[in-house]
Structure 1
Amino acid sequence: MFKNTNTAIVLTDPQIEFLKPAGAGFGLTKDVLEKYNTIEHMIELVRQAKEKGYKVFISPHYFYPHDHKWQFGGAGEHMMLEQQMFARNSQYEPVVEGSGADFIEEMKPYLDENTIISSPHKIFGPESNDLALQLRKNGIDTVILGGMNANLCVDSHMRELIEDGFNVVVATDAIGAPGQEPMDAALTNFGFIADEVLTTEQVLEQL
């Protein structure tokens, strides 16, 4: 059984970009989202966790104008930057409501004082943001991980958090991916690397 004193929910990129039709990446993910009921499971996980006193951490993806001046990068970086994905006008201005960088509406009711939004990760993993610091400062050593995308940001967060000494449980149906093949590849990796792989229902039974 999990305990709310040392366990938290961590979601990567619960944003419009890959989760809603207005997002530039939705065309890649829509079939998997529908098959796994990703949004519904993600929100139910957060809702019940909140009711039981668990904290929720969000590791968002944001790109600012200065990021578009990077001189090199991988295929995924280039795709996101070229398509203006997760774009914000400035570090000093709020996210444009309804833009790809905005959180999905279903998540917004849960953005309270017990939801910690880390600084943005820039490529795929949390190495460049303060997620691990925020988790440790809140006494968290066990993470229940969900979000987008399975084979990219979720996988990268899982690996780095494990390397950093956290227990990581992956909620496999609270995750989406840009197609079934990437989803299958990620599920294979989760099975080899995560401390535990559970469905949302199985997670909820242990909260």
Structure 2
Amino acid sequence: MKSTDWEVIKAAKEAGIPDPGFEIDKNTAIVITDPQNDFLRDDGVAWPVVKASVKENDTINNMSKVFKLARENKIKVFISPHYFFPTDHGWKFEGALEKFMHVKEMYLRKGRLDMTDFESSGADFLDEFKSYLDDDNIILCNPHKIYGPQTTDLNLQLRKYKIEKVLMAGMSTNLCLESHTRDLLEEGFEVGVIADASASAKLPGMDTFQAALMNLRLITSHIFTTEEFEEALKSFKSS
């Protein structure tokens, strides 16, 4: 991440905002939102608005490292993907970014039971992550349709695995990641964020990653970099 992003973290500390910290233990899982081509591949429909943030954060390499570290440490990873089916395009109203996604046919699939043309589509997972998806520690949840997990089985899956603590990563920071974070906090989970394993839109006069980082610093237990996450796992291994 840019040094200016970390100024948000520094400013919060200087203002006396507590940093409760986040200890990784056996009841900790990782939740990754939208690790998909439409955000992360250079021909994805959202790539033009997120590419600057993705490159600054080295997001793809950091997300890959999170998958790898989770595999090595046998930490459960719950993936919350984003799909739209043909019936969703009949909605009678939509917010600004819903409109963007529908017009651009973002995350479009042929149907719930139809996987035609799914592979390598915008809705498919980035190739860099696919080698991890068949691992025993991966749980693929039902898709969300707007930003939060309220219409998915994420909370059910977390509860059934007796998860109490969640580390968030994925796309995009100010939308699905932040919305998932807020819902999980309200559901009673302890939540931290691996911030540079994420990214979001950056446009003239609008840096949504920095805006999200401000909110996440105030509501979560701790903000990690991927490097700090790796360092924290050393204590987890020895516990």
Normalised by the length of structure 2, the TM-score is: 0.84
Q: Quick check: 1:175 aligned with 2:201?
A: no
Once the 2 structures are TM-superposed, how far is the Cα of residue 47 of structure 1 from its aligned partner? 0.2
Q: 1:150 aligns with which of 173, 182, 192?
A: 173
Does the alignment pair 1:125 with 2:125?
no
1:77, CA displacement in angstroms?
0.8
Counterpart position of 2:214: 188
Letter in 2 for 1:152: L
Aligned residues of 1:151 and 1:182 also touching (Cα < 8 A): yes
> In the TM superposition, what is the alpha-carbon distance from 1:73 to its structure 2 partner?
1.4
Q: Distance in 2 between matches of 1:54 and 1:114?
A: 6
For 2:37, the equivalent position in structure 1 comes to 16
Equivalent position SS for 1:2: coil
Q: How far apart, CA to CA, are the structure 2 residues paired with 1:206 and 1:49?
A: 12
Does the 8 Å CA contact 1:39/1:174 hold for their aligned counterparts? yes
Q: Number of residues paired by the alignment?
A: 206
Q: Which runs of 5+ in 2 are unaligned?
A: 1-22, 234-239
Out of 23, 27, 36, the position equivalent to 1:6 is 27
Q: Secondary structure at the match of 1:156?
A: helix
Q: Within the alignment, does 1:200 sit opposite 2:226 as a pair? A: yes
Distance of 2:70 and 2:230 partners within structure 1? 8
3-state SS in 2 of match to 1:126: coil
Bigger Cα displacement from structure 2, 101-110 vs 88-97: 88-97
1:39 maps to which residue?
Answer: 60
Residue of structure 1 in register with 2:100 after alignment: 79
Residue 97 (structure 1) shift: 1.1
Moved over 6 A (4+): none
In the TM superposition, residue 42 of structure 1 has moved relative to its aligned partner by 0.8
Match of 2:86 among 38, 42, 65: 65
Instruction: Render the CA deviation track for 1:54-111: whole Å, top value 9, x for unaligned.
Output: 1111000000000000111111111101110000001002261111100001111111
Q: Post-superposition shift, 1:166?
A: 0.6
Tell me the residue number matched to 1:26: 47
CA RMSD of aligned residues (A): 1.1
Partner-residue secondary structure (3-state), 2:106? coil
| Distance in 1 of aligned mates of 2:231 and 2:137 | 21
Match of 1:108 in 2: 130
Give percent identity, aligned residues only: 45
Which structure is larger by alpha-carbon Rg, 1 or 2? 2
One-letter amino acid of the counterpart of residue 55, structure 1: K
Structure-to-structure mapping, 1:91-102, within 5 angstroms: 91-94=112-115, 96-102=118-124
Q: Which amino acid aligns with 1:49?
A: A
Residue 109 (structure 2) pairs with residue 88 (structure 1): yes
